[in-house]
Structure 1
Amino acid sequence: MKTILTLCLTVVITTLSIAQEKEQATTTVTVHIENVLSDKGTIHTGLYTEDTFMKAAPNYSSKDTIKDGKVTLIFKNVPAGTYAISSYHDENDNNQMDFETTGMPKEDYWVSNNPADFGPPQWETAKFTVGKEPVILTLKQ
């Protein structure tokens, strides 16, 4: 009988520990965007996985106002993993990034890690890891 009771207690404690770990397996990703040239419009930011980066809607998104050329936003409850951020200044508030006929962006944009890529943003230079600790990123042009 003691063995069965001990086994049951072990199962319950293990189950509670796993459930608690799963609850704690998320964190926040704070993004600071600096040097926005105008407070007009909004900043659209997406947090992407490799499967969605530059291909689909972001896993998490935010639309924020600009104050004194700066924006700070927080993505909450982000599970551990590898992500990238892409953000753009929707100065005319048409909810899309505008491009020249040549394909060059008309509106400013930022990518995590501030890479100096030529052409569209690349996953390999934009990716970063989210673990248990909060992540703080500063995006600059």
Structure 2
Amino acid sequence: MLIDRTLTILFLRLATIYGIICIFSFSILTEEKRFSLIVEVAAVKGSSGYLQYALYDQASSFATRQGQLLSGRVPAVFPVTQFRIRGLRSGTYALAIFHDANSNSEFDQGFLGIPLEDYGFSNDAMGLFKAPNFSDAKFNLRQHKNKIKLTLKR
């Protein structure tokens, strides 16, 4: 009787440990790999202010404030600024960036919306009097493709 009870307790403990190991192993196997994107921005005209960026993953919301997957800013470094965006899943993205030289966190525009600050998009995509299409600016982030270069323009 004592042996049966001891074996039952031992079996329950082993079953519990086995269950925990299975759950932990499943969560490790199903965890999606995350990548870093290295962004190199050329033609930065000075080291004042910041480069403000926005990353998008949807064509329908590209180049809108509401559609940003994530955004941030990094100190401007003349003549080339390089930074890293971490924790991204493999997929298709587009990047918009501008040099906020006066650090007011706004993309300054003059008369008729003419840009007063330098800006750029991934693939150096440009639109005519507007932001380019997502399809022109998109890039694929994969394990072997994790660096993009763009040039600021006005």
* Higher helix content, 1 or 2: 2
1:1-141 maps to which residues of 2 (within 5 A)?
Answer: 12=22, 16=25, 19-50=27-58, 51-55=60-64, 56=66, 58-118=68-128, 119-133=130-144, 135-141=146-152
Deviations 1:85-136 (A, max 9, x none): 0000001111010111211211000100012432322211001112334510
SS in 2 for 1:64: strand
Q: Which runs of 5+ in 1 are unaligned?
A: none
Mapped partners of 1:114, 1:104: distance in 2: 19
Mapped partners of 1:82, 1:120: distance in 2: 18
Mapped partners of 2:149, 2:35: distance in 1: 17
| 2:45/2:78 contact within 8 Å kept | no
What is the Cα-based RMSD across aligned positions, in Å? Answer: 2.5
Mapped partners of 2:121, 2:48: distance in 1: 20
Between 124-133 and 20-29, the greater mean CA deviation after superposition: 20-29
Corresponding pairs, count: 132
Q: Which runs of 5+ in 2 are unaligned?
A: 1-14
| 1:87/1:109 contact within 8 Å kept | yes
**CA separation of 1:62 and 1:85: change in aligned 2, threshold 3 A:** same
Higher Rg: 2
**CA separation of 1:21 and 1:139: change in aligned 2, threshold 3 A:** farther
| 2:49/2:75 contact within 8 Å kept | yes
